[in-house]
Amino acid sequence: MSKIADTFQNISSLLLQDLINLIHFWDYKKDQKTSSPASKELIETGYVSFADFLTRKECEDLYDQIIAFSQKYKETTTLDNGTLIHFRGNKSEADPDKGMIDIYNVDRVVGLNLDYEKIEKIIKPTTTCDLYTTSVHAYINRGVEGTRVFHVDNFQPVVYKAFIYLTDVDDTSYGPYAFINKTHRFSLQVYYNLFRNLFLKKYRSPDMPIYKKNREIIGTGKKGTIIISNQNGIHRGYPQEKGKERVALVVTYMVISKLNYLHNTAKQTLHEALKKF
Ligand SMILES: O=C(O)CCC(=O)C(=O)O
């Protein structure tokens, strides 16, 4: 698709999602009892994190299993059970995230005993729309210096990701997740980048190189820390320094309003993502 068509589709998608966001603006106020401080922070900021979602021992066991599994593969491979071991950025030197291993459907090969209910208790009260868990990934970053620039994952529907660190991410050299506060809805920064990228060859439509630096939240944390983030907001994984490692589990959720089905492209995405329900 041409960049103009892509931009047009993204802007129309974003306008519709912002309309849906407006309609659902006060959702989290409806049931004050279930709107915990974490849910409120998530809806207002687009980001929330806390330590000790997993114990250090749980993290170390999972880390060992995931690394041992990943070491069986040297190139991108899809298994019969649907697990995909994706060696990112191997198509060309210019591709971002070169060196990162993304294991999609990692829960089919590693025994995960996550407290999904605890995550959903934070996300659910932010909306009255339907919430679906779509996939569980493991991200293995070892000295990935060329991570993707700030970007948004999509324009609609709302997607949340829960990042659970299995290794200590003490400072920026370890490649923490980073998020720009309050860019997950009604954000002029997102509209501005979308429009500006149209004229700049080096950026893809959803890249967001212009953002307010003073609104940046850098998600450092010890192993066991969870970060829940609205992926319609501007975010990235920081570039790592050589020799630094970060392993994280990533659980993906979709929040869907009936209005999302009005948009043709979103409709196709939703049908694909929801096939298993
Ligand atoms: O690796 C990270 O911290 C963020 C990756 C990212 O941008 C994403 O999963 O959408």
Task: Render pLDDT for 218-257 as a digit per residue (tens, 0 to 9).
Answer: 999 999 999 999 999 999 999 999 999 999 999 999 998 8
The whole-model pTM stands at 0.94
pLDDT at 87: 96
For residue 83, give the CATH number of its domain: 2.60.120.620
C-beta 165 within 6 A of ligand 1: no
- pLDDT tens digits along 138-157: 999 999 999 999 999 989 99
What does each C-alpha distance from 41 to 37, 48, 52, 75 come to in angstroms?
Answer: 6, 6, 18, 40
Nearest ligand 1 atom, CA 141: 1
> What is the domain extent for residue 131?
3-273
Three-class SS of residue 14?
Answer: helix
Per-residue tokens: 90: 């191997």
Write the pLDDT tens digit of every residue in 155-178. Answer: 999 999 999 999 999 999 999 999
For the Cβ of 47 lying below 6 angstroms from any atom of ligand 1, the answer is no
Write the residue with the smallest CA distance to atom 4 of ligand 1.
237
Do the beta carbons of residue 246 and residue 161 sit within 8 Å?
Answer: no
- In the chain, the number of structural domains is 1
Length of the chain: 277
**Mutation test of ligand 1: which of 88, 147, 208 has the most ligand atoms closer than 8 Å to its C-beta?**
147
- Dihedral of CA atoms 109, 256, 52, 36 in degrees, nearest 10, equals -160
Per-residue confidence (pLDDT) for residue 264, from 0 to 100: 67
- Please indicate whether residue 246, judged by its CB atom, sits closer than 6 Å to ligand 1: no
Q: Which of 180, 235, 246 to mutate to test the pocket of ligand 1 (most atoms within 8 A of CB)?
A: 235
- pLDDT band with cut points at 50, 70 and 90 for residue 16: very high
